Amino acid sequence: MNEMVTIPREEYDRLVEAAEDLADIAAYHRVKADLAAGREEMIPSEFADRIIDGESPLRVYREYRGLTQTALAAAAKVNRVQIADIEARRKSGSIETVRKLADALRVTIDDLV
């Protein structure tokens, strides 16, 4: 099965672009289905911008969920001071602590680190 096909570069470029467009369309439909099924959520741009600008993701997600540090500490079963330290970037928190916080906020660990 050593067959070869030669096509003009212009046609090759058109086919590559069409394949990329098809991949984008498929990704769009996957995300749309995940949103409809509740497996994904949209975060308002003002919250996303805060994370992009370097603010603590823990603080941003906590405030997005409408929680105080005390309420999050109770929900995650961690010490409130740990949350304050992580938000202030004085400490990073253990994997276990970050996992508990992520679970309580309904996000992934990657979203918080």
Domain extent, residue 24, equals 8-42
Coil, strand or helix at 3: coil
* C-alpha atoms less than 13 angstroms from C-alpha of 100 in its C-beta half-sphere: 15
Q: Is residue 16 part of a domain?
A: yes
Q: Are residues 37 and 60 in the same domain?
A: no
Can you give the CATH number for the domain in which 85 is found? 1.10.260.40
Check whether 40 has a pLDDT greater than 80: yes
pTM over 0.85? The answer is no
Q: Are residues 37 and 84 in the same domain?
A: no
The answer to whether 77 and 103 have CB atoms below 8 angstroms apart is no
Give 49-91 pLDDT, tens digit per residue.
999 999 999 999 999 999 999 999 999 999 999 999 999 999 9
Number of domains forming the structure of the chain: 2
Q: Are residues 34 and 64 in the same domain?
A: no
Check whether 1 has a pLDDT greater than 80: no
Q: Are residues 33 and 67 in the same domain?
A: no
Q: Are residues 29 and 76 in the same domain?
A: no
Q: Are residues 103 and 69 in the same domain?
A: yes
Cα 80 from chain centroid? 24
